[in-house]
Amino acid sequence: MRSSCVLLTALVALAAYYIYIPLPSSVSDPWKLMLLDATFRSAQQVSNLIHYLGLSHHLLALNFIIVSFGKKSAWSSPQVKVTDTDFDGVEVRVFEGSPKPEEPLKRSIVYIHGGGWALASAKIRYYDELCTAMAEELNAVIVSIEYRLVPKVYFPAQIHDVVRATKYFLQPEVLHKYSVDPGRIGISGDSAGGNLAAALGQQFTQDANLKNKLKVQALIYPVLQALDFNTPSYQQNVNTPILPRYVMVKYWVDYFKGNYDFVQAMIVNNHTSMDVEEAVALRARLNWTSLLPASITKDYKPVVQTTGNARILREIPQLLDARSAPLIADQEVLRHLPKTYILTCEHDVLRDDGIMYAKRLESAGVEVTLDHFEDGFHGCMIFTSWPTNFSVGIRTRNSYIKWLDQNL
């Protein structure tokens, strides 16, 4: 009996040691976030083991775990009709709010889910619930795109998928089929989905046939650049769940089918050092010392290496492609973008990407709403139902939908 108690105590202590990580007191529901982070880390470690044993790629294994525990079929309710179909060969899940006699044409959002270009799905519970809520509360048609993921495809295939599906949806006959008002369509996405939405918006401004087709864009904690992994938010949140800096850099390398040997060098900005000529010209476009307010920069210092590793950009030139890093796009491209909403979270390595993009868009004459949550963390907006229900998740979702309701 005594040995059993000792063993139980040891197991509890080990579990507590694994789960506990120091978090700022200002973050929403810290113990719940620790549990969520521990669960995700466990899934990552299992997928890494599967990869090590040669059974599957670690991202395929990890996504299998995520989708297996969260996949939801296309289930309709009296308020929202849900169907799975494809737009020009790209899978989509469509959510249609109930018809209203006084409003024959609905507004619409094309939504792009997050997951580091490699994980999640439009068909998992978190995104299904979000899009259902949007369709019901906005009385809208939500098109959630099931784009292809790493490692089955790499950049720019994900962009091609979302562009192809969106172009198909914007055809007059398709809009008529879903009773959508062609003047009230927006694009949106979270995290890597926010990256793809931003890239989509920029591409549309450069296409005469698609220019001005989108009324708004709404970007939720978007990832927007891979030149500087030492912005104040990257420095402040280097180990903050659920997206530590090391993990974000690996997602970038995976997106481009790059070499993991580059990760440590990229973390200290060796890929954009002063002697890397290709990066110098773009540095001013994300000079955070001028783009971020003093309340954000605080005492953080830029990390700019004098000499670095030019081989990284030779092998991964996509790092400097505006399609992958919308924050570095030309000012002329930015000034044609629609009214924009950007949601950022304090406890997120990507916080400053969103704030800098908002500043650059404002400088280009675009109307921007920057919605910042002091207790927010990366990914929080999709965590609104038990057991992963966070107070900041509910507040961010409500604020996001409210903005769409007022501006779309």
10-residue averages of pLDDT along the chain (408 residues)? 64 68 91 93 94 95 92 94 98 94 91 98 97 97 98 98 98 97 97 98 91 94 98 97 97 97 97 88 89 96 92 95 97 96 98 98 98 98 94 98 98
The one catalytic residue in 28, 47, 191, 233 is 191
**Residue 42 belongs to what H/E stretch?**
helix 30-52
pTM of the model: 0.96
Q: According to the model, what pLDDT value does residue 127 have?
A: 98
**What are the tokens at 65?**
């775990």
262/27 Cα distance (integer angstroms): 32
Catalytic residue among 58, 113, 347, 378: 378
**DSSP-assigned letter for residue 98:** P
The predicted structure's pLDDT at residue 253:
98
CA 262 to CA 311: how far, in whole Å? Answer: 9
CA 91-382-44 angle, 5° bins: 80
**Strand arrangement, sheet containing 90-97:** 80-87, 90-97, 140-146, 106-112, 180-190, 216-220, 339-347, 368-377
In a domain, 230, yes or no: no
- What local confidence, expressed as pLDDT, does residue 14 receive? 59
Residue 182, domain CATH:
3.40.50.1820
CA-closest candidate to residue 321, choices 208, 202, 404, 168: 202
Surface-to-core class of residue 207, CB atoms within 10 Å of its CB (0-12 exposed, 13-18 middle, 19+ buried): exposed
Rounded-to-integer distance, Cα 405 and Cα 259, Å: 44
254, 348, 353, 375: which one is catalytic? 348
25 catalytically annotated: no
Number of domains observed in the structure of the chain:
1
Query: What values do phi and psi take at 351, rounded to 5?
Result: -50, -50
Q: Is residue 58 annotated as a catalytic residue, yes or no?
A: no
| 3 state SS of 183 | strand
Domain extent for 347? 68-225+321-407
The Cα angle at residue 324 between residues 303 and 130, in degrees rounded to 5: 105
H-helix or E-strand containing 112?
Answer: strand 106-112
Residue 151 placed within a domain? yes
Task: Report the alpha-carbon distance of residue 66 to residue 104 in Å, rounded.
Answer: 38
Task: Tell me which H or E stretch contains 140.
Answer: strand 140-146
Q: What are phi and psi of 204, to 5 degrees?
A: -65, -30
pLDDT at res. 278: 83
- Residue 349 lies inside a defined structural domain of this protein: yes
Domain contains 291: no
191 catalytic residue (yes or no): yes
241-267: b (≥16 Cβ within 10 Å) or e:
bbbbbebbbbbbbbbbebeeebeebbb
Closest to 286 measured CA to CA, from 303, 298, 299: 303
Q: Residue 168 falls within a domain, yes or no?
A: yes
What pLDDT does residue 9 have? 59
Helices (H), 240-334: 245-255, 263-267, 277-280, 288-291, 294-297, 310-315, 331-334
Residue 241 included in any domain = no
Please report whether residue 44 resides in a domain.
Answer: no
Burial of 317 (0-12, 13-18, 19+ CB in 10 A): exposed
Residue 245 placed within a domain: no
